[in-house]
Structures are given as structure tokens and as C-alpha cells.
Amino acid sequence: MATYISDGKKLLDVEYDVVVELNDTIDGMRVISKHTEASNEVVLFLLELGGFISCYILDENYLVGRVSGFKNLADAIESYNLGEV
């Protein structure tokens, strides 16, 4: 398990080839699901401290999308699949 911090635009102090995995922590939230797109974007679903779900989209270590406040993982995944994230 690794711990990462972002500045809202990218992961800080991370080498370009580092891959975030399940159960790692980003900004105090645990990664509970991960999906890699053909375009090499990585979609991460994170458990917030309040029990809600956040979705981060990474291109290498840059945050290209971020939405928080989903009630559950199914809602977050559905929003991502519909292009709402």
C-alpha cells in the first residue's frame, strides 16, 4: 500500500512510471476500484472519509478529471460510463 498526495493537478513526488493500485491512498482516500482505458488513462474510484465515493481520472500522474460525492460505487461507475466524469 502506497500513499500519494495531489495538488489538484497531479500526484506529487511520484515518478512517471508509478502505477496506483487497489488499497493505495490518495489525498486520504482509499482506492477501492481501478479501470485502465485503452488510451492509458487510469480511472480510480476512491472511498472518501465520509463514506461517499470519488472518481479520479489519471493520465500518467496528471489528474484530468475528478468528481466526488457519489453515494455508492455503482453510481460512480455509471456516471463514468455515461461520460459524466
How far apart are alpha carbons 85 and 78 in whole angstroms? 10
What's the predicted TM-score (pTM) here? 0.90
Q: pLDDT tier at 19 (50, 70, 90 boundaries)?
A: confident
Q: Report DSSP letters for 13-67, one per residue.
A: T--TT----TT-EETTEEEEEEEE-TTSEEEEEEE-TTS-EEEEEEETTEEEEEE
Q: Which pLDDT band, with edges at 50, 70 and 90, does 72 fall under? A: very high
Average pLDDT of the segment spanning 45-65: 93
